Amino acid sequence: MENNKVITENDYPIAKLWIFKTPIIIVLINVVALFFGRYYPVLVLAFPVYLIANPLIRNNFHYSLEEKLLTIRQGVISKKQINLPYGVIQNVFLKQDLFERIFGLATLRIENASQAGGARNIRTQQEQENVGASGNKVNIPGLKKQDAEELKELILKKIKENPIEDSQ
């Protein structure tokens, strides 16, 4: 693979199945709840919301591995672009919840050295698991596990090639 080739979500796409993850979980929770004589109408109301929101979120999330930067563009209503130099990336790892393990998917998590995710910006676990950049974390969910592993290796290689320059 060429060293200067820009890698994008077209090369390592988010699986369409990811879009349906939350609606599938909502249906399963309600089926199990009905089995025990319970019913959660809030979950039924949330079902169509996620069927609309997840495709919008996915269609408005783009990433690219460029020569010196990891670029994230995201946002349905409020658009933002994050340019992350490889030298500030501290952690790159894969996460798999039960749903992802069953369907052979994984989430690639990239954490940088900024203080944006520190104590002054405490977020709940659920907020940290969403697609895109939040605080000092970037999540790329719904990747095929093999694609996630390859993307991780590409980012680690870029980190070694582009160390942070000492400003002194």
pLDDT for residue 148: 97
Q: What average pLDDT does range 123-144 have in this prediction?
A: 74
Helix (H, G, I), strand (E, B) or coil at 149: helix
Helix (H, G, I), strand (E, B) or coil at 117: coil
pLDDT for residue 2: 52
pLDDT tens digit sequence for 49-66:
888 998 999 999 999 999
pLDDT for residue 129: 59
Q: What average pLDDT does range 145-161 have in this prediction?
A: 95
pLDDT tens digit sequence for 62-110:
999 999 999 999 999 999 999 999 999 999 999 999 999 999 999 999 9
C-beta of residue 24 within 8 angstroms of C-beta of residue 46: no
Q: What is the DSSP string of 37-103?
A: T---HHHHHHHHHHHHHHHHHHHTEEEEE-SSEEEEEE-SSS-EEEEEEGGGEEEEEEE--HHHHHH
C-beta of residue 157 within 8 angstroms of C-beta of residue 87: no
> pTM, whole model, 2 decimals?
0.81
- At which residue do the structure tokens 């399963």 appear? 28
More confident residue, 165 or 121: 165
